[in-house]
Chains A and B, each alone.
Chain A
Amino acid sequence: MAIGDIWVPDNHYFHHLATPLSHLSPLFFSLPPSLFCSQKTSLHSRLSYKKSLNIPFLVIFLDVMEPTLGLLGGIGAGGGGGRGGGGAGSAALSCDQTGLNVPNSEKDYMDISKESELELGLGLSLCSGGGGGVEAKGKGSAWSEYGRILTAKDFPNGFSAGSGRAAAGTKRAAADSVGSAEGGSPSTGVSQVVGWPPIRAYRMNTLVNQAKTSNTEDGEGVGRDEKKENSKKKINHGNDKNDSTIKERDHLGYVKVNMDGLPIGRKVDLKAHTSYETLAQTLEEMFFKHPSRKIRTGKEQSMQPFKLLDGSAEFVLTYEDKEGDWMLVGDVPWGMFLSTVKRLRIMKISEANGLAPKFHKRNEKQRARAI
């Protein structure tokens, strides 16, 4: 694949899809065809960008009708936690525990009209029917059938540095076989899962900040001098406001990210990334990934996401620098970006006037071509 080496495509999500969404992909790319993702990996939300720094910005394409629309649509039978998965290994649930009268089959549970059957109360039994209904499924894969939010399971690449780590017979076996083919850097995977490993932001920022200042770890000689230099810089006695704001930003790797149309912002730890690619991927997960991608059982579910694709909006990633100007992300080398960025904003293309006139023109050209 032409651009397969730009970032790691998440083939893992899509190998269950029946048909590639070929008729959709042109909508989402206003970059030259050579940069198109393969159809297999291009669902409605992707990030695409050029490897070199010629393209001055990072572009995020989105196919939702309204940014705030729940991207939860299209779970269907893939969703719902009602199925007690892992039928192979699960013991029969004893029927004398306090609980809820649960319908026998998973099908019943999904059916909303059966809601009245669900009752809370003491002394009701938790029937073993739920477990029995899913005995067909393998122990390891039952829950992965559910439509659900992206989790670590969906990052096959990051969690094992080499295929030697793959545990036999575990759920990750399939994931690893995909992951090891990529040979992606080991450090990208774990950092893409929100909140894992469970380390406080404060600690994370401090650690990363120190790693930046002390480049060489071993003591004596040149290394130590360098450390001295850096630590001197840190303990800046100057009253220069600029210096203190830089210090503050260094102190905190997390910057706020807001997306147009979404009422809430998120925070992303810039220090956990070493390139625009990983940052873009993380932002994609944060703002655009949704459970419909987890659809395993094909057919009817794959229709759902398309509803959201009409009137596709497109977004650009921008940032506010320390002078208060809004710039397109991707313009400057990563290190320089880190030292000037104050916060990020995923801006609607329509609002990005003046930021990238060239982009607009190209955009229209592509769209015309596609239709």
Chain B
Amino acid sequence: MAQSFPEDVLEHVFSFLNHDRDRNAVSLVCKSWYDIERLSRRRIFIGNCYAVSPEIVIRRFPDVRAVELKGKPHFADFNLVPEGWGGYVYPWVVSMAGAYPWLEEIKLKRMVVTDENLELISKSFKNFTVLVLLSCEGFTTDGLAYIAANCRNLRELDLGESEVEDLSGHWLSHFPDNCTSLVSLNISCLGSEVSFSALERLVARCPNLKTLRLNRAVPLEKLPNLLCRAPQLVELGTGAYSAEIQSDIFSNLSEAFLGCKQLKGLSGFWDVVPAYLPAMYSVCSQITSLNLSYATAQNPDLVQFVSQCGNLQRLWVLDYIEDVGLEALAAACKDLQELRVFPSDPYDAEGNVTLTEQGLVAVSEGCPKLQSVLYFCRQMSNAALVAIARNRPNMIRFRLCIIEPRAPDYLTLEPLDAGFGAIVENCKELLRLSMSGLLTDRVFEYIGTHAKKLEMLSIAFAGDSDLGLHHVLSGCESLRKLEIRDCPFGDKALLANATKLETMRSLWMSSCSVSFGACKLLGQKMPRLNVEVINERGPPDSGPEDCPVEKLYVYRTIAGPRVDMPGFVWTMDERVSSRFSRATEGHGD
């Protein structure tokens, strides 16, 4: 009875909806909208590859052109997820090869990709244009050769920070001579040298190349050759930024940079020789994104260079910048939105640079648009955090890592509860928070009370009791990802907030106090969650049921327990009781 628009009109209207959330909302209106939407959805994002199966996705969305998948939990970046855990893209590629012949884009993060997968991708999708592999592993440069050779219209090849087994640099030469479509190439993670002449020719014949991130093996002396052939570059990642001090190298370099009128982003800078930094002065005022996080240059060279970049919006840098450099940054770069300061010597307890909380406070004062921070330092105070919070209520991402676990406020020796409390109270739009230092349950009370928009929270060496976890799970309404390590959180808060877990993407707890019994219970009672216990040292039932599990990964899913688990991962589903005999009876295996 209800008059609706003709389908193609609706489809046209839906084509303006790009965000998944909007499309998901639209699909809930009525059956016909659901069908029109699903038939017209071209891009899908799956934040946890085990939350759904390829078959289910393909059944619902039959004509997808771009797929984005994430595999391992975030803490895999820090070696907390054992090798072999999972995250294989294989079943996806195989299914999609048959179902989506017109697939154009595949973006993967923290997944295991093999050369065979890459070969299959290169041969199955005729219109394949974009391959992005961020923090992936399992493939070699041979797999890349398939992509180079077979993807006729390849526009983007981004290897992110993947772990590639580097057999040789010859893969790059597999790009056919008639390949002119490249827009973005990022090979910065590769160790082997690629044939420079092949690279040069490739760059020269791709007029639309906007992003070029070289690997370390590309020598600085040769960089001008590439820049001259690609003056339209918007983002450049240099190779090793070092060479003998020779005036002709310097002048070639300066001249080449002078020609890059579109350049906005710079990265690379391994082995940086500070004398060559001024070669880029001509582009500094254009630069909005600068990644010096591998550049071991120190002050004054470092701060001198950074201060030239008055339009900087994003800066990644090592702690060599020191407080004095950050103060200069605060004065010079009023458009700064994102700052990441990494430690040059993370294992040194004392530190050899003068980077303290003062630097961050200065930037928070001087840069009104600052909204995203990742900061490694060795001391922090509640006063500084309160100041930062008050200065920057527009903060969206705040990740602070005080290198020493459980370090208190260095001035008052108190916990940093008040400081982080100020952050969540003042920064009402905070989406992501990572905390460190000495923290009690009190900080979690603040978080639960105030951090209503928080989507991702990372906790380490914090809290006193289950109450802490309970505050977070019961208070943070928007929470999607929670990752915890080495905190005294146990069964109570977890079980008490079991239904909350279904509203989140995932929960990670390692080196906490969650018992095997609680995991079993959670798995049995919550069929729409996969409760996975990771115990590398043996089956979790080899001790009594109250024995804590090593690592726990809980995520919502409609695909049921996964079938590709390695021997050290146990899933707690309904059948778990029969699989695990009671501790008193001894374990079967």
Task: Give residues in A with beta carbon < 8 Å to B.
Answer: 68-77, 79-87, 89-91, 93, 97-100, 102, 109-110, 112, 115, 118, 120, 122, 124, 126, 130-131, 139-140, 142-143, 146-153, 158-161, 165, 167-172, 186-187, 189-191, 193-204, 206-207, 210-211, 213-214, 217, 219, 224, 227-228, 230-232, 234-237, 244, 247-248, 250-252, 256, 262-267, 272, 290-291
Closest Cβ of chain B: how far from A304's Cβ, in Å? Answer: 8
Partner of A210, one of B135, B296, B404, B545: B296
Known: A69-B538, A198-B78, A291-B548. A234 touches B526 (CB 8 A): no
Q: In the complex, what residue of chain A is closest to B243 when comparing beta carbons?
A: A231
Closest Cβ of chain A: how far from B349's Cβ, in Å? Answer: 4
- A82: chain B residues at CB < 8 Å are 490-492, 515, 518, 546
Partner of A75, one of B405, B440, B441, B543: B543
Partner of B543, one of A70, A213, A227: A70
Q: In the complex, what distance in Å separates the CA atom of A204 from the CA atom of B98?
A: 40
Task: Give residues in B with beta carbon < 8 Å to A.
Answer: 75, 77-80, 82-84, 135, 161, 163, 166, 168-169, 189, 191-193, 216-217, 219, 239-240, 242-245, 270-271, 273-275, 293-294, 296, 298, 301, 342-350, 376, 401, 403-408, 413, 434, 438, 440-442, 458, 460-461, 464-467, 470, 474, 485-486, 488-493, 495-499, 510-515, 517-518, 521, 525-526, 535-540, 542-548, 550, 566-568, 582
Q: In the complex, what distance in Å separates the CA atom of A213 from the CA atom of B273?
A: 12
Task: Report yes or no: A70 in contact with B496, Cβ–Cβ below 8 A.
Answer: no
Known: A79-B515, A244-B191. A147 touches B547 (CB 8 A): yes
Q: In the complex, what distance in Å separates the CA atom of A79 from the CA atom of B548?
A: 6
Known: A102-B496, A202-B161. A197 touches B376 (CB 8 A): yes
Known: A151-B461, A267-B83. A210 touches B542 (CB 8 A): no
Interface hub of A74, A83, A169 (most chain B Cβ within 10 A): A83
Could you name 13 residue pairs across A and B whose Cβ atoms are closer than 8 Å?
A77-B546, A79-B513, A81-B488, A81-B515, A89-B440, A100-B492, A142-B465, A147-B547, A152-B486, A161-B350, A167-B408, A193-B405, A217-B298
Task: Report yes or no: A167 in contact with B403, Cβ–Cβ below 8 A.
Answer: no
Q: In the complex, what distance in Å separates the CA atom of A211 from the CA atom of B466?
A: 42
Task: Report yes or no: A85 in contact with B488, Cβ–Cβ below 8 A.
Answer: yes
Task: Report yes or no: B513 in contact with A93, Cβ–Cβ below 8 A.
Answer: no
Task: Report yes or no: A74 in contact with B543, Cβ–Cβ below 8 A.
Answer: yes
Task: Report yes or no: A190 in contact with B168, Cβ–Cβ below 8 A.
Answer: no
Binding site secondary structure of chain A: loop
Q: In the complex, what distance in Å separates the CA atom of A173 from the CA atom of B543?
A: 31
Task: Report yes or no: A81 in contact with B536, Cβ–Cβ below 8 A.
Answer: no
- A99: chain B residues at CB < 8 Å are 470, 495-497
- A90: chain B residues at CB < 8 Å are 441, 464-465, 467
Task: Report yes or no: B538 in contact with A148, Cβ–Cβ below 8 A.
Answer: no
Task: Report yes or no: B566 in contact with A263, Cβ–Cβ below 8 A.
Answer: yes
Q: In the complex, what residue of chain B is closest to A232 when comparing beta carbons?
A: B244
Q: In the complex, what distance in Å separates the CA atom of A264 from the CA atom of B81?
A: 11
Task: Report yes or no: B294 in contact with A210, Cβ–Cβ below 8 A.
Answer: yes
Query: 7 tightest CB-CB pairs across the interface, nearest first?
Result: A81-B490, A70-B538, A81-B513, A143-B488, A99-B496, A86-B464, A80-B546
Closest Cβ of chain A: how far from B425's Cβ, in Å? Answer: 19
Closest Cβ of chain A: how far from B235's Cβ, in Å? Answer: 19
Task: Report yes or no: B542 in contact with A73, Cβ–Cβ below 8 A.
Answer: yes
Closest Cβ of chain A: how far from B218's Cβ, in Å? Answer: 8
Task: Report yes or no: B548 in contact with A148, Cβ–Cβ below 8 A.
Answer: yes
Q: In the complex, what residue of chain A is closest to B535 when comparing beta carbons?
A: A70
Binding site secondary structure of chain B: loop
Given A75-B547, A82-B490; 13 other pairs, CB 8 A cutoff: A87-B465, A99-B470, A99-B495, A99-B496, A126-B496, A161-B349, A196-B405, A199-B376, A201-B77, A217-B296, A234-B216, A248-B192, A267-B83
Interface hub of A79, A161, A248 (most chain B Cβ within 10 A): A79
Partner of B540, one of A69, A72, A109: A72
- B401: chain A residues at CB < 8 Å are 197-198
Q: In the complex, what distance in Å separates the CA atom of A291 from the CA atom of B536?
A: 13
Closest Cβ of chain B: how far from A157's Cβ, in Å? Answer: 10
Q: In the complex, what distance in Å separates the CA atom of A74 from the CA atom of B538?
A: 14
Closest Cβ of chain A: how far from B520's Cβ, in Å? Answer: 9
Task: Report yes or no: A264 in contact with B543, Cβ–Cβ below 8 A.
Answer: no
Task: Report yes or no: B536 in contact with A200, Cβ–Cβ below 8 A.
Answer: no
Known: A70-B542, A93-B470. A290 touches B191 (CB 8 A): no
Task: Report yes or no: B77 in contact with A190, Cβ–Cβ below 8 A.
Answer: no
Known: A186-B348, A202-B161. A235 touches B546 (CB 8 A): no
Partner of B536, one of A169, A248, A262: A262
Q: In the complex, what residue of chain B is closest to A213 when comparing beta carbons?
A: B271
Partner of A198, one of B77, B440, B515, B518: B77
- A262: chain B residues at CB < 8 Å are 536
- A207: chain B residues at CB < 8 Å are 294, 344, 346
Task: Report yes or no: B513 in contact with A290, Cβ–Cβ below 8 A.
Answer: no
Q: In the complex, what distance in Å separates the CA atom of A198 from the CA atom of B436?
A: 11
Known: A196-B405, A231-B240. A244 touches B486 (CB 8 A): no
Known: A73-B542, A187-B347, A198-B78. A86 touches B405 (CB 8 A): no
Q: In the complex, what distance in Å separates the CA atom of A221 from the CA atom of B496?
A: 65
Partner of A151, one of B166, B348, B438, B511: B511
Task: Report yes or no: B513 in contact with A80, Cβ–Cβ below 8 A.
Answer: yes
